[in-house]
Amino acid sequence: MTDLTFTVEPGGALRGRLRVPGDKSISHRAIMLGALAEGMTAVTGFLEGEDCLATLRVFHAMGVRIDGPDQGRVTVHGVGLHGLRAPTGTLDMGNSGTSMRLMSGLLAGQAFDTVLSGDASLNRRPMRRVTEPLALMGARIEATESGTAPLRMHGGQRLTGIDYSLPVASAQVKSCLLLAGLYAAGVTRITEPAPTRDHTERMLAGFGYPLAREGDRIVAIAGGGRLAGTEIDVPADISSAAFFLVGASIAPGSDLLLEHVGVNPTRTGVLDILRLMGADIEVLNRRLAGGEPVADLRVRHAPLHGVRIPEDLVPLAIDEFPALFIAAACAKGITVLTGAEELRVKESDRIQVMADGLTALGIAAGPTTDGIVIQGGVLSGGTVDSHGDHRIAMSFAMAALRSRDPLSIRDCANVNTSFPDFMTLARAAGLNLMAREAA
């Protein structure tokens, strides 16, 4: 596999206006629910990154006609809840944990057998969090001894709804069980320990499938309904915008407008945390796009200070913490994160990998079991290893805006999983970034 190294010259500022790619979470779900719907679903703003393309290919393999993607436009010709066909081989999820976990629920109720696998990183990630509750519903799934993929799904099982309390706040597990609930007899009722992103619930409603909600932590779905094809406008991904929100906040002279960003309240923890740190972020032109709230975000440089991050914001910013750690490294004082053990089982152990990288750049960063303590300071420049984690690679690229010397980031090829145009947009905004391939 080709190794990609980012090299970033120090200094600079981020200015202008840009639109980051479409939301990854919503793009995944648009393909999945569109495939299970009756009739056509037209998607605009689809993220053409490797993770979402893996989801698209999986449905191709199960007999769903999908036109595109073409400049973010995709047309899904739905086959109905029971119209999928058995694939001829293993379904390859690539690096996408969302695909693996959500597809587990969707496939648990099919009439045919399937095998789900992914790349080396994905096949190390924990899957018992979905296989165990699915088994309670009647699914038959075989995993490795350590509870990881490949997952062998046995078709023809009769699923029954359950009342399940999630042990850890996870939108992926919640969504997995909701998708299994489409095929289950009776009601599947899920209770969360804390609110998580609700894209699946919003999108099910958009496809005309009824849900029952009790407050912001309980959702229930009854099996036996139908999904009707619809139109979906995917907003720009706030997780991708986060790198630029942090970059502009830390770099003197920055003034950047990020357009049409999804601001679903279950995803805006990054805005709340940055504002607690003193960031200058304006939310402009709030509106709805396909049932999802969007806005334009204007961010200007501001001096940041360390904070103790409230634990109730952790699930609302779980994917943005690598970027937030860079903000903490450039802030005055100490930033403390707790309650974020979920970061240890992402594409990498994001707590340890970020701590190692920050330490290599001269920042005091002490990992803990469920978080990190970062003392703001001066970034020295040097070389860090992203361990193939796209969010870590892009976060350290932004760190160069405040480093003394050039910064090299190894193992960056997986940036294409979520943000294939990152280098182009970052350079257009003012980041002095180059990439070098080595066989």
Segment 309-361, tens digit of pLDDT: 999 999 999 999 999 999 999 999 999 999 999 898 788 899 999 999 999 99
pLDDT greater than 80 at residue 299: yes
CB 262 within 8 A of CB 199: no
User: Region 106-125: what's the mean pLDDT?
Assistant: 95
User: Region 188-215: what's the mean pLDDT?
Assistant: 95
pLDDT band at 291 (very low <50, low <70, confident <90, very high): confident
386-407: per-residue pLDDT in tens?
999 999 999 999 999 999 999 9
pLDDT greater than 70 at residue 408: yes
pLDDT greater than 80 at residue 290: no
- 3-22+235-438 and 24-233 share one CATH topology? yes
User: Which is catalytic among the residues 119, 233, 237, 319?
Assistant: 319
Question: Does 319 qualify as catalytic in the annotation?
Answer: yes
Residue 16's region, left for phi above 0, alpha for psi from -120 to 50, else beta, is left
Q: Which residue has the higher pLDDT, 417 or 261?
A: 261
- Return the CATH superfamily for domain 3-22+235-438: Enolpyruvate transferase domain (3.65.10.10)
pLDDT band at 2 (very low <50, low <70, confident <90, very high): low
Integer Cα distance of 192 and 340 in angstroms: 16
User: Region 110-121: what's the mean pLDDT?
Assistant: 96
- Return the CATH superfamily for domain 24-233: Enolpyruvate transferase domain (3.65.10.10)
Helices and strands (DSSP H and E) totals, the chain: 12, 23
User: Region 27-44: what's the mean pLDDT?
Assistant: 97
User: Which amino acid would we find at residue 273?
Assistant: I
pTM above 0.85, yes or no: yes
Residue 430's region, left for phi above 0, alpha for psi from -120 to 50, else beta, is left
pLDDT band at 135 (very low <50, low <70, confident <90, very high): very high
pLDDT greater than 60 at residue 285: yes
Report pLDDT for 418.
82
Q: What does DSSP say about strands 140-142 and 65-70: parallel, antiparallel, or unpaired?
A: unpaired
pLDDT greater than 80 at residue 165: yes
Integer Cα distance of 99 and 171 in angstroms: 12
pLDDT greater than 90 at residue 416: no
Integer Cα distance of 94 and 414 in angstroms: 10
pLDDT greater than 70 at residue 184: yes
User: Average per-residue pLDDT in the chain?
Assistant: 95
Report pLDDT for 439.
54
- The domain locations on the chain are 3-22+235-438, 24-233
